[in-house]
Structure 1
Amino acid sequence: MSVQEEVLEKLLTQTEESQQNEIVVFNDDVNTFDFVIDMLIDACDHDPLQAEQCTMLIHYKGKCAVKTGDYEDLEPRCSALLQAGLSAEIQ
């Protein structure tokens, strides 16, 4: 294997390892601001300011990536948001 091939293989491996998933929460006409804020604090370990900012983005932009990480960490968090009645998915 040439040096160029080794470097390319290493870069591809690092890229695959560094790709992380994210939980995206979508706007709805059902849940209140306070409820969404509380759920982001509980399920995603947000501090109150971060949860409020994400909630504003969800409301005005239609969606917001609220948590980034490994799928194994995000799956139970997303499930908690879904069980609470929020529209969310892992992307």
Structure 2
Amino acid sequence: MGKPNTRPEGNPDTVDILAAWYELIVWNDDVNTFDWVIESLMEICHHTLEQATQCAYIIHFKGKYAVRKGSYELLHPMKEALIDRGIQATLSTCGEEV
């Protein structure tokens, strides 16, 4: 019997249990415009215009929002790309930032 957090060989449809526990958090600031955040979410996180707009408003009014969930390998490059654009972003898992 294999470890519960590993993908069994030969079954690409099995999801890595631990991989889905990461969130890409984007934080509100007084520097970036709505248009810049929306454009960045569309280009980096592959959101639709509607998704990116909703995320931007939630970020603005709530102070932060988990704009994407997935594996560390998927989200880390997105986080770095957002930071490169001047947007404050972090990864979290189980309520802790990493």
TM-score (norm 2): 0.75
Offset at residue 17 of structure 1 (A): 1.6
Report the counterpart of residue 45 of structure 2 in structure 1: 44
1:43, 1:77 → 2: CA distance? 6
1:69, 1:20 → 2: CA distance? 7
User: Which amino acid counterpart does residue 20 of structure 1 have in structure 2?
Assistant: W
User: Which amino acid counterpart does residue 48 of structure 2 have in structure 1?
Assistant: D
Offset at residue 42 of structure 1 (A): 0.6
User: Which amino acid counterpart does residue 61 of structure 1 have in structure 2?
Assistant: K
Report the counterpart of residue 20 of structure 1 in structure 2: 21
What is the percentage of aligned positions where both structures have the same residue? 46
1:20, 1:47 → 2: CA distance? 23
Higher relative contact order (CA 8 A, sep 6+): 1
SS at match of 1:89: strand
User: Which amino acid counterpart does residue 38 of structure 2 have in structure 1?
Assistant: I
Unaligned runs of 5+ in 2: 6-15, 93-98
**CA RMSD of superposed structures (Å):** 1.6
User: Which amino acid counterpart does residue 90 of structure 1 have in structure 2?
Assistant: L
SS at match of 2:90: strand
SS at match of 2:36: helix
Pick the structure with greater CA Rg.
1
SS at match of 2:17: helix
Could you give the per-residue CA deviations for residues 32-89 of structure 1, whole angstroms, max 9, x where no partner exists?
0000000000110000000000000000000000010000010111100000000100
- Alignment of 1:32 with 2:29, yes or no, is no
1:69, 1:26 → 2: CA distance? 18
Moved over 4 A (4+): none
Q: List aligned pairs for 1:62-73, cutoff 5 A.
A: 62-73=63-74
SS at match of 1:79: helix
